[in-house]
């Protein structure tokens, strides 16, 4: 025997489905659970509706629209969780690839902390002479020397032009002038050679922290082969 619910039962079921829809739409912590509740109530409503007083088509369309919206929220939440998991895996992978590695980081401003600063320079083709000038944060030149373009790396020991140790520690600006014969052809920035000590996140981008206290994005870091 087929059981037919009354119009009152149908209206109660419709109200319950609508309430579940509203709760699911406004519930951020667990949209998936509310979505399942809404789906069960809507299904029960359709099965038990009174054939002589079926669910109003407008109301049904509205509930289907809510159903579609909730479905998209659930899918979106699942996608966000998947992306978060993948980002975590990517972070761990990058950390394993870069932590402890010797890298070169391009920077005109170089932190000095009582230890020699080692750096390299991307010398353009045809350069046969280069001059390094080190300035403090007030713009005063404290050191100058000729660089051999054929060398792979260079070191500044933190001495000033008189051979005295630089005090205080801090940031120093490295300027490298390039020449071809007597012709000045431009400048270059040093690439500080240092070690990666940590991996961070800045505005959604991975950032490398280094022993030299420089921080840099992956696009500005190069691994230095031993």
Residue-wise DSSP of the chain: ------HHHHHHHHHHHHHHHHHHHH--TTHHHHHHHHHHHHHHHHHH-BTTBPPPHHHHHHHHHHHHHHHHHHHHHHHHHHHHHHHHHHHHHHHHHHTT-EEEEE-SEEEESSSPEEEEE-PPTT--EEEEEEE-TTS-EEEEEEE-TT-S-EEE-SB-TTSPBP-S-EEEEEEEEEEETTEEEEEE-EEEEEEEEEEEEETTEEEEEETTS-EEEGGGEEEPP-
| Interatomic CA distance for residues 225 and 6, integer angstroms | 80
Q: Indicate if the pLDDT at residue 25 is higher than 90.
A: no
- Residue 111 pLDDT class (50, 70, 90 cuts): very high
Q: Which of 42-56, 60-74, 166-180 is predicted most confidently?
A: 166-180
Q: Indicate if the pLDDT at residue 14 is higher than 60.
A: no
pLDDT for the residue 206: 82
pLDDT for the residue 149: 95
pLDDT for the residue 62: 62
Average of per-residue pLDDT values in the chain: 77
pLDDT for the residue 103: 96
Answer with the residue of higher pLDDT: 183 or 86.
183
Tokens of 206: 């991975």
| Interatomic CA distance for residues 193 and 144, integer angstroms | 20
Mention the CATH class of domain 102-223.
mainly beta
Residue 47, class by beta-carbon neighbours within 10 Å (0-12 exposed, 13-18 middle, 19+ buried)?
exposed
Q: Indicate if the pLDDT at residue 82 is higher than 90.
A: no
pLDDT for the residue 3: 32
Percent pLDDT > 90 in the chain is 45
- CA torsion 153-175-207-193 (nearest 10°) is 20
């Amino acid at each position: 025997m087929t059981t037919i619910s009354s119009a009152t039962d149908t209206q109660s079921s419709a109200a319950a489905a609508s309430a579940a829809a509203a709760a699911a739409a406004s519930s951020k912590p667990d949209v998936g659970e509310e979505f399942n509740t809404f789906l069960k109530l809507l299904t029960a409503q359709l099965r038990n509706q009174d054939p002589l007083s079926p669910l109003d088509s407008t109301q049904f369309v509205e509930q289907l629209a809510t159903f579609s919206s909730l479905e998209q929220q659930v899918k979106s939440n699942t996608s966000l969780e998947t992306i978060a998991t993948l980002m975590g895996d990517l972070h761990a992978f990058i950390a394993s690839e870069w932590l402890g590695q010797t890298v070169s980081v391009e920077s005109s401003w170089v932190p000095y902390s009582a230890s020699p600063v080692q750096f390299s320079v991307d010398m353009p083709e045809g350069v046969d002479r280069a001059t390094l000038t080190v300035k403090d944060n007030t713009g005063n030149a404290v050191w100058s020397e000729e660089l051999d373009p054929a060398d792979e790396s260079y070191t500044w020991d933190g001495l000033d032009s008189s051979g005295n140790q630089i005090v205080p520690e801090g940031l120093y600006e490295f300027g490298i002038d390039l020449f071809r014969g007597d012709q000045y052809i431009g400048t270059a920035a040093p690439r500080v050679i240092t070690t990666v000590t940590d991996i961070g996140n800045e505005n959604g981008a991975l950032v490398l922290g280094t022993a030299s206290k420089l921080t840099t994005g992956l696009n500005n870091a190069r691994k230095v082969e031993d």
